[in-house]
Amino acid sequence: MSSPQVVVLDYGSGNVRSAVRALERAGATVELTADFKRAQACDGLVVPGVGAFASVAEQLRAVGGDRLIGRRLAGGRPVLGICVGLQVLFDKSVEFGREDVPGLGEWPGTVELLPSTVVPHMGWNTVDVPEESVLFKGIERERFYFVHSYAVQKWELPDPGDPLATLKPPLVTWSEHGGRFVAAVENGPLSAAQFHPEKSGDAGIQLLRNWLGTL
C-alpha cells in the first residue's frame, strides 16, 4: 500500500519542519506547502500553530486557510490541528487582554489564560482520554509535551433543542494545569491536539500513526 499523502500547511507558522519529520516517521509522504489545490487534494491536512492566536488566525486567512479547512470538512476530508492550530478552530480568544479575537468557528468556545500561577504550561503532562478515542488508541496512559499559556477550558455543547445535538458528539480529551482544559478533540474528519505530537516522543508518533490510519 502507498503511504498517505499529507500536506502541512505552510502559512508562516514557525517550527513546522519538526512536524514534517514526525509525520514522515509515522509513515506519511509529506509536503510543506500553501498551495490551495494541493492542500485540498491531499489525503490529510495538518494545520500547525506556534505563537499568538490573533497572528495565526490572520496568517491562516491570508493564504485562504479558513476556506481550505471549510471545504475539506464539507467533503469529509481529514484535518488535524496542532497547538494554536487547535485553538483557532474555536470561536474566539481573549489572549493578551484583547476581547473576542475571532477564530475559525468550527467549534464553540473561547481560548482563555490558564488559571495557574505558573505559565506557560511547558513540559510533559498526562491526558484524560474518552473510551472511544481513535487518536489515543494504545497510548491512553502516555504523557505528551505541552507549550502554551492559553487554552479552551469549557466545552460548549449544543443546547438539547439544537438540531446539532442529534449528531454524534465530538470526543474531547482533557488535561490539567491549574484547572482542566481541552487537550484534544476528535470530531469526524476534524481532529486537533493542544500539545505537540512531534515533540512527544514515541507516544506522539503513535498518535500521528493513529491519525494517518483514519485517512
Q: Which helix (H) or strand (E) holds 60?
A: helix 53-62
Please count the other Cβ atoms lying within 10 Å of the Cβ belonging to residue 18.
Answer: 13
Q: Which helix (H) or strand (E) holds 71?
A: helix 65-74
Catalytic positions: 83, 196, 198
How far, CA to CA in Å, does 121 sit from each of 16, 45, 134, 198? Answer: 20, 27, 25, 17
Answer for the pair 149, 119: CB distance below 8 angstroms, yes or no: yes
Answer for the pair 103, 52: CB distance below 8 angstroms, yes or no: no
